[in-house]
Structures are given as structure tokens and as C-alpha cells.
Structure 1
Amino acid sequence: MANYFDYKIVTSSLIKAVKTLTGKPCIEANGTGEQPAYPFATFTITTPKIAIQQDDENAQFELTVSLTWHDESSLSVLNLAKQCESYFKSTEGRLLFAEKGVVIVDVTDFDRRDNFLSIEYERSAGFDIKMRVLDPHVDDVAPIEQIEFKNVIGGN
């Protein structure tokens, strides 16, 4: 087990869920790879760490992931966003992430996110998912078990 939280746990689960649910690809937003054919989803980890307790060993924290659908059709992106939003709010969707130690805390309502591309629009719609995870960090420093004090008042 890694000595830190691996964000691939979240992203691989998200990619798998979107592909299984819709049959469409889900890729990292603003990546350098080739864009898939429409429709497709993108994800961005918009807030990688929201502290909810002191950074101790095995501290919990939250993160926010944005999921956005892209297509040439407004109805297509609205339907795909609604389908995924409903899934991530469902028990089945939450269990998929719970199996990986990720708790879905909140799923926002989806909204339009259209982009103007030179002379036409790319239609997009999406929502955000807030998740809670456990950072398995363990400090490798040995604990101090005994402290010895010497009285050094007034000289040697």
C-alpha cells in the first residue's frame, strides 16, 4: 500500500463508471492526447484537497472532481449529464466508489457549460462530485519514548 493517497483510485473509478454506464469514453480535461469522437466526457480534479481534520496519520480529506460531457448536440450532453448525475447519486454509484475507500459526499445538480469554438459552439453539460478519502500517510520517524532533563542552572 502506498504511503500517500493515490488520485488514480478516484479517476480510474470515474472512468470505469462512465464507460460502463454510457459506453462512452471519459478522459482528463486539457490533456495532450487525441480527442475522442463526440460524445465524450472529461474530468478535472478542481480541488485536490479540502482538509476536514488535522493532517495526522490516516487523515481524511475531501476533493472535488468536475465531470463534463461534450458533443455537438445540446440534448445529447443534457441527457448524458443527467444519466451520470443520477447514477452518482444512487446507491449503486456510491457503492462502486465505496469499494475503493472513496465516499461520495455530494453531487451537484448538472448545468450547461457550452464553449464557443471559433465559429461554432461545442455543447457541454456537467456537474461536480465531492468525495471524501483517507490519506494513509504514516510518518516513518521513530517516536520519542523517553526524555532526560538535566538541571544546568548557574554554570557547568
Structure 2
Amino acid sequence: MFDLNSYNRIICEGIQNELNLICVKSNITSHIPKYPFVSFTVTAIDYKSRTYSDDGKNRYKPVEVKYSFTINSDNDNECFELCQKLHDWFESAVYLKDKNISITEISGISNRDNMLTIEYEYRKGFDCVLNVMNYLEGNVENIDKFEVERNDLHA
């Protein structure tokens, strides 16, 4: 089964360990971390139509998970620099490859600033597509033999 929370945790731990930034889900209602921090949203999950079997017992489908990452800061220059570092981290994401996550697309960095009453929250971000596997439950049925029956329509 596809465990999105597990993948979210892997990504957040990698960002925190390698970039020293707290990573949280966007639009949380609990405690918001001290600036700067990373927030993310899963914007789409696309299950591919093809099913694979690795050893005749397990079945899985590739899944594209589309994430949106945003650096949140009270300093515009810091925000942009950290967003570049995060973008570079995804570009070279050896950590993610070691966790069986591949990246097929990373957008450019865009401005996502937000006016908070009398001051700005500086926000820069980008979107990326990560590929993971959705392991399906149940037995795999193998086809040992396949024969085509021919119906002769011209008889």
C-alpha cells in the first residue's frame, strides 16, 4: 500500500538533516516553526495504469506524487538563498534515491510572498514530481500459457 505519511516523513527528515531547516505541512493549525522553515503541500497523486510484479508474489504500480515546497522567512534575501539550496538538494537528491524515491521534474523558483497585516512573510518556492511505488495487496496471478482461438469468419 502507498504510505504518503512515510514518504512525507522521509523528505522532511532529509531536509532537516541535510539543510538544517524544519519542514512542515502547509496550512497547519498547530505550532508554526520559527523562521526560516520549509512548508510543503501534496498537490496531486497520479497512479500509473501499468502494474508490475517483482518476483511473482508482489505487485506494484508506479505513483507520481506532486509536491509544492515553500521557504518561509522574515528576510527576503535569506528566503531566496535557502530556496536555491533546497532546489539544489532536490536536483542532486542522493538521499532520496537511497530511499527509492526518484525525481522526474522540478519547476523553477517562484515568488510566493504573503502580506501579514503590516509586514510581509517572504516566501519562495517550487514544485516537483517524485516517483514512488504503490505496493498492491493480494496474490499475483501468473499466466502460464496463452493460446489464441481463431474463428474463421469466411467459412
- TM-score band, normalised by shorter chain: 0.7 to 0.9
Question: Quick one: which of 62, 87, 90 aligns to 1:88?
Answer: 90
Corresponding residue number in structure 1 for 2:119: 120
What letter is aligned with 1:110?
A: I
Identity of aligned residues (%): 24
Matches within 5 A, 1:1-156: 4-47=1-44, 49-54=45-50, 57-90=59-92, 93=93, 95-139=94-138
Judge conservation of contact 1:13–1:96 (CA < 8 Å) in 2. no
Distance in 2 (CA, whole Å) between partners of 1:142 and 1:18 is: 40
The CA RMSD measured in Å over matched residues stands at 2.0
Unpaired stretches in structure 2, ≥5 consecutive residues? 53-58, 143-155
After superposition, the C-alpha distances for 1:98-131 in whole angstroms (9 at most, x for unaligned) are 2222111111111111011122211000111201
Relative to the length of structure 2, the TM-score reads 0.79
Number of residue pairs the alignment of both structures matches: 136
What letter is aligned with 2:71?
A: W
Unpaired stretches in structure 1, ≥5 consecutive residues? 144-156
Query: More strand by proportion, 1 or 2?
Result: 2
